[in-house]
Amino acid sequence: MSADKVEAQRVFAQLAACYPDAHCELDFETPLQLLIATILSAQCTDQRVNRVTPELFRRFPDAAALATAELSELERLVHSTGFYRNKAKAIRSCGQALIERHGGQVPAQLDALVELPGVARKTANLVLGSAFGVASGVVVDTHVKRVARRLGLTAQSDPVRVERDLQALAPTSEWIALAHRLIWHGRRVCLARKPNCDSCSLARLCPRIAVD
């Protein structure tokens, strides 16, 4: 094991100790609900999405309902999440693609998911990990990218390259939980503008890269 991996394992162990119950904070009951919620979460907080989705899912409970939805109604329901026109179009198009290609079911394969409208690798990894328990990769959002760089786990800024670095450092069995732990740390302690380094349990392990 390289020195980098040894240090990374210490960081991962401390993250696990701090956030043993870390999980996706989007509310969902089915893979479809998580897929739609994740599309809505772009440039929006999970808390805001969670306030919007109960009515959205009540009105459109399955892919067939989404596929035939009126854009104006979708726009109204998701308006507060921002970029509502694009999100409404993506949600309806996603529903249509699920009906046409997958019998209305969310596929449990990465290559099939990323071909759906509005779905990129981050969304696909999250759905596979949190809805299906499939470790297809490491979810890299803004929090994961920021925290991983500050901790010295990657020197990359491109999400795909950040993901590759994290995959190389962590065993596959840890990929799903690792992403959630990094996200929780980024939301609770390692904040974007003013990280709370003084009370951070990772302070002794953190090189504080790019932290003013």
| Residues belonging to the active site | 122, 141
Write the DSSP assignment of 8-74 as a string of letters. Answer: HHHHHHHHHHH-TT----S--SSHHHHHHHHHHTTTS-HHHHHHHHHHHHHH--SHHHHHT--HHHH
Helices (H), 103-201: 110-113, 121-132, 142-150, 159-169, 175-188
> How many other β-carbons are positioned within 10 Å of the β-carbon of residue 101?
13
Which residues fall within 8 angstroms of residue 14, CB to CB, at 6 or more apart? Answer: 201, 202, 205
